[in-house]
Structure 1
Amino acid sequence: MEEFAEAVGLSRPTVSKYFQNPDSVRPKLRQKIEAGLKETGFRPNLFAVNLNRRRTKILGLIFPSSLDPFYTGLRRRIESQATALGYMPFVFSSDGRAKLEADALETLSSLNAAGVIMAPVSGDDAHRTKVKALAKKIPVVFIDAPFDEEEDFVGTNNGQSMALITDYLTRFEDAPCYFDMPWVNSNARDRREAYIATMHRRGLEPVIIPLTWSQDWDFERYAFEEASRILREGGFPTRVVLCGNDRVAFGVLAALHQAGRKVGITPDCDLRVAGHDNQPLSEYIWPPLTTVQQNTAEMGRRALDMLLARIDLAHSAGKPRPRGEHVLVDGDLILRSSA
């Protein structure tokens, strides 16, 4: 940058100021710099510039899976909003593994990232201590699943959304039984508890299907194998099956179809099946899946707003770090022909 500044006949601080914010430089100087850029082809080393800045433009996004449509939707929403505000989103996948999650946080910290939005995975005490320490060095907002009460979090109101669909399913002749999702994060616990509470409120006995405990992110395969086993061992305890999420429902539906069982709301159907999340494929599988829509647009917006506020606070001298804010976004019932 010093060589470029000399080439265009300006001081290095002026050129550096331009790269931080072109509008902060007078129009004539800006034109001179931009002409020099065209002539020389010079581009600053963004990583070096970023490490020198007190306030940087890198934002980190860490998700447990790069393939899950729910996280893909969240990432797209956050990326587009952050880019429009002049930030550079760097996306990492932890692949559902605590070590990769911690490695991604350390990498972003070493890049002097302005902040991070992260959907956490389950981990042992040592991993949680490590994440907690890193969250003190760099502003972090957790999304989809909370980390603890002290850290900022935005997610779906599982108590409201699961109550919504459970209440709907209790209106049929047979009460819904519950097919759990793998316990990869706190959503699994929260959704099961919401199902149980709603059944009790309706004066009904909850029916939790006994499943092999799992923390596997391959939800469809897990659900297909467990549902196939259940069918071999005598079938489901009721004729209405509520699944912990849509990907689990996809596996259950595949097992039922393979076994020749008909799913739907007509009198000739054997079972009704419902899910949660409203994945993009939920509308196009057969039968189309009754589910709950998670508001990813609102979740992404609130998480980014929260992170930017936390970044501003981190650069405000003397202001104490407040206790984390928890924001829960309600879901909407989506009725289709599976239940």
Structure 2
Amino acid sequence: MQSDKKRIDTMEELAVAIGVSRPTLSRYFQDPERVSRTSRDRIAQGLERVEYVPNFFATRLNRKSTGMIGVIIPYLNDLFFTKLLEAIERAAMEAGFTVITQCSHSDPLIEARAAETFMSMSVDGALVAPLGNHSDMKVHDRLRSRLPFVLFDSRPKNMPDVDFVGTNHDQSTGLATEYLCRVGKPPVFLAMPRVNFNAMEREHAYIAKMDELGHEPQIIGTEMIQDNGLFEAHGEAVLDREFAAGRLIDSSILCVNDRVAIGALRAAASHGLEPGSKRVGGLRIMGHDDYPLCPYTVPSLTTVAQNVDEIGRTAVSRLVGAIHAKKSPEEQFVKLFDGEIKVRGSA
């Protein structure tokens, strides 16, 4: 329905319509408590009579804080980051901040431009999930020299002193490895080309746990099979090659993440294989992350869930604390959350 209220486009027009000064109106939109009760009541009543939307940026020009947090994620088409971003946004709203999200789209130049955008907008702080070993670390160094900065999800080895919130991959991958050793054959690890920090940490954790359990680690998929063939396409291509050669058809396979595992399930289906403890043969496929589609694959994917809600909440809490602090924290903050196995049909 169309409003019959008078439309006001500028704060100058609004001040005249309500009958208060422009500076008083500006202070009201910055913080209603900064003006007298009489003026607050007059402005509130005036706003009921007109159609006016305050300019978000104009109301923050004279503030010490913009009330904005910048977030950089590497992928928009990844439902794991959708879940993580939801947790971040909810925590930020509870803390009184607005989230501005940029996606690097797997491109270090876009990632760098996103960082520059946040600095130009004078956001109060930034949360960044870096791309991997092809990120431009100079950009991240510049960003954290200008404003409070917390890394989440993945941590570059050449930024060891930065606050970080993520998953304890030694625990989560070790848990998955132990589980597969308990229910079947010691697992083969389906890795990724070495461009992803989390993937490399999980690979190392798998090797350490297999050594601890007295088994020989076996790793496949570290090389690129197809151009731009990461995640689902990579998992499918690697296992299609193995199954076609008659290899791994009765093995336990621990995939570096759920998206790779979804591709692995597709490869198994195309070769007439049925992974899962209740099916004929010994093939088992397991992932990591608890991607939202895992319960709906065929068979449903056994995986290790990351504590996404706590990762998002803790990252925001640490950043907000740094924003409100008068000086930078002297000690680095690192919080790693344990994973939890989700047993489903595939293993």
TM-score by length of 2: 0.89
Equivalent residue number for residue 269 of structure 2: 257
- Indicate whether 1:243 and 2:255 are aligned: yes
- The secondary structure found in structure 2 opposite 1:204 is coil
Contact 1:182 1:216 in 2 (8 A): no
Taking the TM superposition and a 5 Å limit, the aligned residue runs for 1:25-104 are 25-104=35-114
**Range with bigger deviation, 213-222 or 155-164:** 213-222
- The secondary structure found in structure 1 opposite 2:99 is strand
Q: In 2, distance between residues paired with 1:13 and 1:323?
A: 42
Which of 125, 129, 141 is the aligned partner of 1:132? 141
Using the TM superposition, give the Cα deviation of residue 159 of structure 1 relative to its aligned residue in structure 2, in angstroms.
Answer: 0.6
RMSD over aligned Cα, in angstroms?
2.2
Using the TM superposition, give the Cα deviation of residue 163 of structure 1 relative to its aligned residue in structure 2, in angstroms.
Answer: 0.6
Using the TM superposition, give the Cα deviation of residue 252 of structure 1 relative to its aligned residue in structure 2, in angstroms.
Answer: 0.5
Equivalent residue number for residue 336 of structure 1: 344
- The secondary structure found in structure 2 opposite 1:46 is coil
- Structure 1: which 4+ aligned runs deviate by more than 6 Å? none
Contact 1:263 1:271 in 2 (8 A): yes
Identity of aligned residues (%): 38
- The secondary structure found in structure 1 opposite 2:57 is helix
Q: In 1, distance between residues paired with 2:14 and 2:28?
A: 12
- Indicate whether 1:153 and 2:167 are aligned: no
Which of 195, 202, 207 is the aligned partner of 2:206? 195
- The secondary structure found in structure 1 opposite 2:285 is strand
Q: In 2, distance between residues paired with 1:225 and 1:274?
A: 17
- Indicate whether 1:298 and 2:310 are aligned: yes
> Structure 1 residues 173 and 113, CA, compared in 2 at 3 Å: closer, same or farther?
closer
> Structure 1 residues 95 and 272, CA, compared in 2 at 3 Å: closer, same or farther?
same
- The secondary structure found in structure 1 opposite 2:96 is coil
Using the TM superposition, give the Cα deviation of residue 86 of structure 1 relative to its aligned residue in structure 2, in angstroms.
Answer: 2.7
- The secondary structure found in structure 2 opposite 1:235 is coil
CA displacement, residues 242-287 of structure 1 (integer Å, 9 cap, x when unaligned): 0001111000010010011121103613401111111111112111
Using the TM superposition, give the Cα deviation of residue 83 of structure 1 relative to its aligned residue in structure 2, in angstroms.
Answer: 2.1
- The secondary structure found in structure 2 opposite 1:59 is strand
Which of 325, 335, 339 is the aligned partner of 2:333? 325
> Structure 1 residues 72 and 320, CA, compared in 2 at 3 Å: closer, same or farther?
closer
> Structure 1 residues 150 and 29, CA, compared in 2 at 3 Å: closer, same or farther?
same
- The secondary structure found in structure 2 opposite 1:299 is helix
Q: In 1, distance between residues paired with 2:160 and 2:222?
A: 30
Equivalent residue number for residue 285 of structure 2: 273
- The secondary structure found in structure 2 opposite 1:170 is helix
Using the TM superposition, give the Cα deviation of residue 187 of structure 1 relative to its aligned residue in structure 2, in angstroms.
Answer: 0.4
TM-score by length of 1: 0.91
Which of 3, 12, 15 is the aligned partner of 1:5? 15
| Structure 2 unpaired stretches of 5+ | 1-10
Q: In 2, distance between residues paired with 1:121 and 1:157?
A: 19
Q: In 2, distance between residues paired with 1:179 and 1:277?
A: 15
Q: In 1, distance between residues paired with 2:202 and 2:170?
A: 7
Using the TM superposition, give the Cα deviation of residue 49 of structure 1 relative to its aligned residue in structure 2, in angstroms.
Answer: 3.1
Using the TM superposition, give the Cα deviation of residue 44 of structure 1 relative to its aligned residue in structure 2, in angstroms.
Answer: 3.3
- Indicate whether 1:204 and 2:212 are aligned: no
Query: What is the number of residues matched between the two proteins?
Result: 334
Q: In 1, distance between residues paired with 2:229 and 2:56?
A: 35
